[in-house]
A and B are shown apart, each in its own frame.
Chain A
Amino acid sequence: MSGYTAHKGEYLNQAMVDVARIAKITRQLYERQQFAYLLVDHNWSVIEASANLENYGFGDVRVGDDAREAIDFLVGLDSHSTLDLPIVLSPSQNPVHIVLLPEDESLTVVLMDASRDYEQQQLVQQKANENELLLAQQRQLMADLEQTQAALVTKNTELREASRLQSSFLSGVSHEFRTPLAALLGYVDVLGERLLSQSQEESEEQLKVIRRSGRHLLSLVENLLDHGKFDAGEVVLNPQAIDLQGICDEVHAMLHQGAASKQIALEFDTTPTPLPSCLIDDSRLRQIMLNIIGNAIKFTDEGKVQVIAQCADEQFSLRIRDTGMGISKDDMQNVMRPFWQAPKNGKVGTGLGLTITERIVEMMGGQLKIDSELGVGTTVDITIPAPLIELDQPDINSNRAEHIGARRYLLAEDDPDIAALLKLLLVEQGAEVTHVENGQQAIEIAEREEFDVILMDLQMPVLDGYDATKSLRDRGDKTPVLVMTASAIEADRTRAEEVGCDGYLIKPVAVHEVLSLADELLQNQSAV
């Protein structure tokens, strides 16, 4: 105890010295501007401010003022709570470290220079953040890359599937063409050898096969051409006043032989009978019917194919029902895809018939629906808008009667077989035909002789049909020109019209088409 008392005075002395020293150091620190301070009461009224406060940008702080008026960063803060704000940047000022130290009656706000801390941290943090941004970008790129890769894989699969379909299409097409071609050539040989020795009935039977095979080939080619035209957006509808019953009868006549040869029935049922006349693109309608009914016959080996045709409320509806092999649910999703063919059904084709039919039906503003059960059969429902129209029956007859007369035709055609056939058929109808082999010859002869109609092939050597027609028109020759071409492309037709052609026929040309078109032209010409 006594030791403690003895030293008490010394301790006190020492403490006094320490306090004095601390006070001195503090003053020195302030003076050296290491930090500034502000003393406020709890209502932010300024009690005291260190002189160097203006070094921190707060020069106009006066005793008694509300500190928050002069110093923005104090706005919102609590004058009773301790707060440490390590780095604060005010506009155009150096970074400061701010500490709020509350006491019973007052609050001291201490401001210290933080430039060095700021600079160090800035360097480190900037690097770290930039690195992380790069990493994030890299991750994003990787993700994008993976996505692209996945898309490529899908695309690749699609392409491979497309190419597979194309090759199976090619083999299908080849097969499809070979069958009727073989029949056609075979029977032509038979006919050639036995024409004189066999009965007329036998010859007629063989001719039927030849005609059927030829027509079949033609419809295949038409489908192929149409597919390309649809893709190029070149298909145009050409609605005409037609006799629906006539078309149904015609289609029946074309297909019943094929059905009969497979020993299946082909039944046509029309309501009302006869069907009325209406406004429809007849060649497209024929194509639709041949495709769908042809398919039904092809895929039916037993039973029958039933066609129910109805016309009511300006709608032509067709139901084609067969008792064939049917389509499975899975295959149903594929039947409309171009070139697609059911695997392993033993039937081959182009895989285009349905695709094209659907597109034509849609284009006509109609609908096509397929309903099928595997092993039971398939029903196809087609509806097409069919505005009713009065057919001027007697007029047609008078037209027909009139074109039997001696007309003078100039036929420009480089293919000798086609030329000979056309000439033969026209002469049979009473016409007079002069044949030349190219456009140049056509121009020359047209200068010397008069013709009623010029039949002009488009693709010819020396001078083609376009140039020949143009040349004729340039010379003032107004003889109607009917062009004939194997091209079913709309652009060719437009070009032909531009050079001055009056009519357009697609090969193979049927003689009655030539005659009626010629009639029409000549009538128009005489009417003018």
Chain B
Amino acid sequence: MSPDVSTQAPVEPATASAEPGPVKAVLDHLRGYLSKVRSGEVGALPAVAGIIALCVFFGLAEPVFLSVGNLANLFGQGAAVACIAMGLVFVLITNEIDLSAGFASGVAAAIMAVLLTEWGMPWPVGITAAIATGVLIGLTLGTLVVKVGIPSFVVTLAGFLAFQGLALIILDEGTNISIHNETVKAIAGENLERWQGWLLLAVTVGGYTALQVSRWRRRVRRGLSHEPLAVVTARIVALGGLLTATVFLLNLERSANPQLVSLTGVPIVVVLLGALFVLWSFVLRRTRFGRHLYAVGGNREAAIRAGVAVDRVRITAFVICSSMAAVGGIVAASRAASVDPNTGGSNVLLLSVGAAVIGGASLFGGKGSARAALLGGAVVAIINNGMGLMGLSAGVRFGVTGLVLLLAAGVDALSRGRGSFFGRH
């Protein structure tokens, strides 16, 4: 514990007054970023490094891994877990856990399947019912944890068992219900037209650019500290480049037999993931609820004293988590075109928790983002996909995923130790 102020992280260059050269400004910015990383705020770095390393490794070991068809495949394989992980992030930020999210997604999917296939309801009814199921489950779990005071580990472990049973009952002791509704099947099964992909790209990059530039100009005008324009530009170009490359690749023909059936375009599930990512990032970073969520996870006592409606925030986290689990269940059902009692079962929950943590959410609370869920979901999906292509057994795949999770949790614990010099209360 050093009381010496001079050891603090370098301060960002003082705004317009000193007006350093642009190169120096960029270097200062980089130095500030590096010192944040050194002090434990590693952010997305480990997950991004992991994704690159895994892609290089699997690309060398099994060249088909880098094919366009497999890229599209990866999105489909990872989507359900990424959805559930995005919800789990909310619960993890408040320093709780939800072990029931996997089977909650199964129950929601089962209810949708029964409504669509057995009762012949239209798809909006099925999807609304599935999400409403998620909301109800989240309300129940959250109330038991927050109002009754049972540890979330226990409540959601009970949920894990109970929802498994509930899915069995809904599915009549284990029948497999097929989904015939074309709209629901399209969610994880169909692709955008090529032009739709390009249009969406233009809208996304244009919107991002407008937001970034207007924010930068606002901060300059108000005389607040701001990033060098070069850094803002670099970020826009990087995101634009990445998305353009993705759309370009996904718009290539990826059918094994193009004469028979053509397969091109951005999978609809990618659009869904993107929309959910934007929505939850907005909620976490730009709304009062999001701010309070982090505060509750960072120091609940401080949040209480600041007048934050702590109970409501914590319950809402569970509601969002279970609702996103329901969305994950819909995606899984769409992809399989059926629901059975194992939907959302086996390793789904563990992979989802793993994804969130690998992406940078903390098991100690107070840290996490929608981006973490997506990046971590990508890591998990790549590991399973790549090792599957290499013909490794399920046993090996579980083992490796477990090791990666352990590694991520280790990084989390270590960065936590280095990041908080002055102890947490």
Chains A and B come from one and the same complex: no
B interface list, Cβ under 8 A from A: none
